């Protein structure tokens, strides 16, 4: 390899594929490098011709090369051959298995299910904000919108990009540092979903096995409300997941939320804790006005503690916030747009509690040097 080619590779090693989150030099995306006395020509191979990140990749390549070289640089955008694409998919999977669930027993990814007994308690808003907050702390985060009938995560995050298909492999779009997949990404406009149990199970299975997640520190799942088919499927597919039960202060809502948490116990999920949303309104004088009553979250935590024989904590109480609602409608998570808002502070504390949870010893990667 010539000196110029080595410098090209070194410069392009700092260009990261926005979907795969790895240097393009590691992905086989750098093709032929040609040089003359006045010009350097570099071929860049996209995974697919319709790659949504093509313009971003080309711009980043040009910036990297023009920073390194004073000579005129030409970038030629090409597409991988079938053999090159198959080689990349095999490298990404890192396994002889064509498809597999990477989040089974022994996985180093911490999986959290955000569930509720009924809709309208702010579950999706909390899930989206926690995911973004964890990513902002430097963690690798994936987010599955498993609320097939009531999907809302793309809107919560302001995500309009679609997944990229590499034959039977799906690359999830990334926003605010979070890899996201939702059934809403595959439907035209606001098309409703009318599926029976087997199709729901298949969709969740594909979100786990067909999507290329890469190494994740956390996988968060926005669950549908209640205890239906999706909850059962996720219980089967993610046996090591931990549940976070979202409720509101009303005792009637707490009873339904308790039912949701108890259902997770039947499919093997450990309950990580309870979160009470819309707990109170902070008034102008700093006092707390409990519009919807009080005690719902504490009651769910107490009841689930009795059922499990362990201490289930009340992880936090999130106050009512017009800023939180407005941020969700605008597709800009509050933890990014208004870090001082009391709801943002409470959600950040919840993310911190999740980040401090430890993996079981059997799931940790041990670096042992053999003498």
CATH number of 311's domain = 3.40.50.300
**Domain-ending residue, one of 59, 93, 127:** 93
Do 120 and 84 share a structural domain? no
Give residue 193's pLDDT band: very low, low, confident or very high (50, 70, 90).
Answer: low
User: Is residue 197 domain-resident?
Assistant: yes
**Domain-ending residue, one of 93, 119, 142:** 93
Say which CATH number the domain at 62 has. 3.30.300.130
Give residue 365's pLDDT band: very low, low, confident or very high (50, 70, 90).
Answer: very low
- Does pLDDT of 224 surpass 70? yes
Do 351 and 236 share a structural domain? yes
**How confident is the model at residue 366, as a pLDDT?**
38
User: Is residue 104 domain-resident?
Assistant: no
- Average pLDDT, stretch 145-150? 85
**How confident is the model at residue 364, as a pLDDT?**
46
Do 158 and 88 share a structural domain? no
Do 296 and 247 share a structural domain? yes
Give residue 129's pLDDT band: very low, low, confident or very high (50, 70, 90).
Answer: very high
- Does pLDDT of 292 surpass 70? yes
Do 329 and 181 share a structural domain? yes
- Nearby residues of 52 by Cβ (< 8 Å), 6 or more positions away: 161, 162, 164, 173
Other residues' Cβ atoms within 10 Å of the Cβ of residue 90: 12
Q: Which of 9-13, 38-42, 150-154, 185-189 comes out lowest in average pLDDT?
A: 185-189
User: Is residue 309 domain-resident?
Assistant: yes
Number of domains in the chain: 2
The two three-digit tokens of residue 216, written as one number: 């994740």
Do 192 and 63 share a structural domain? no
Do 304 and 212 share a structural domain? yes
Q: Which domain holds residue 44?
A: 3-93
pLDDT single digits (tens) 265-282: 777 788 999 999 999 999
User: Is residue 102 domain-resident?
Assistant: no
Do 330 and 236 share a structural domain? yes
Rounded to the nearest integer, the mean pLDDT of the chain is 87
CA–CA distance, 345 with 351 (Å, rounded to integer) = 10
Q: Which of 15-19, 69-73, 295-299 comes out lowest in average pLDDT?
A: 69-73
User: Is residue 274 domain-resident?
Assistant: yes
Q: Sort 217 into a burial class: Cβ within 10 Å, 0-12 / 13-18 / 19+.
A: middle
Do 173 and 126 share a structural domain? yes
**Domain-ending residue, one of 28, 62, 93:** 93
Do 132 and 15 share a structural domain? no
Do 277 and 214 share a structural domain? yes
Which helix (H) or strand (E) covers residue 296, if one does?
helix 296-308
């Amino acid at each position: 390899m010539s000196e110029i080619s080595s410098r090209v590779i070194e410069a392009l090693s700092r260009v990261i594929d926005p979907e795969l989150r790895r240097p393009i030099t590691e992905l086989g995306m750098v093709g032929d490098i040609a040089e003359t006395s006045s010009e350097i020509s570099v071929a860049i191979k996209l995974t697919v011709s319709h790659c949504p990140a093509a313009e971003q990749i080309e711009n980043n390549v040009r910036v990297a090369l023009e920073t390194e070289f004073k000579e005129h640089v030409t970038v030629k955008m090409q597409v991988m051959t079938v053999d090159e694409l198959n080689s990349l998919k095999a490298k990404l999977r890192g396994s002889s298995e064509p498809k597999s669930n990477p989040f089974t027993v022994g996985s180093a990814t911490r999986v959290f299910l955000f569930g509720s007994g009924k809709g309208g308690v702010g579950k999706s808003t909390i899930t989206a904000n926690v995911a973004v907050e964890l990513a902002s702390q430097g963690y690798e985060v994936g987010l599955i919108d498993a609320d097939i009938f009531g999907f809302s995560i793309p809107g919560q995050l302001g995500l309009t990009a679609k997944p990229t298909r590499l034959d039977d492999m799906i690359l999830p779009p990334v926003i605010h540092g979070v890899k996201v997949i939702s059934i809403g990404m595959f439907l035209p406009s606001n098309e409703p979903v009318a599926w029976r149990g087997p199709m729901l199970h298949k969709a969740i299975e594909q979100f786990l096995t067909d999507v290329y997640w890469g190494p994740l520190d956390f996988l968060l799942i926005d669950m549908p409300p209640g205890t239906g088919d999706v909850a059962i499927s996720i219980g089967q597919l993610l046996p090591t997941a931990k549940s976070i039960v979202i409720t509101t202060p009303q005792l009637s809502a707490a009873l339904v939320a308790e039912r949701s948490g108890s259902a997770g116990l039947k499919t093997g999920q450990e309950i990580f804790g309870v979160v009470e949303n819309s707990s109170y309104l902070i008034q102008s004088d700093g006092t707390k006005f409990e519009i919807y009553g009080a005690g719902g979250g504490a009651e769910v935590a107490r009841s689930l503690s009795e059922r499990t024989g362990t201490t289930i904590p009340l992880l936090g109480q999130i106050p009512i916030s017009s800023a939180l609602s407005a941020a969700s409608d605008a597709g800009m998570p509050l933890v990014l747009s208004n870090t001082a808002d009391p709801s943002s502070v409470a959600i950040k504390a919840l993310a911190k509690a999740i980040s401090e949870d430890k993996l079981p010893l059997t799931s940790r990667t041990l670096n042992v040097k053999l003498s």
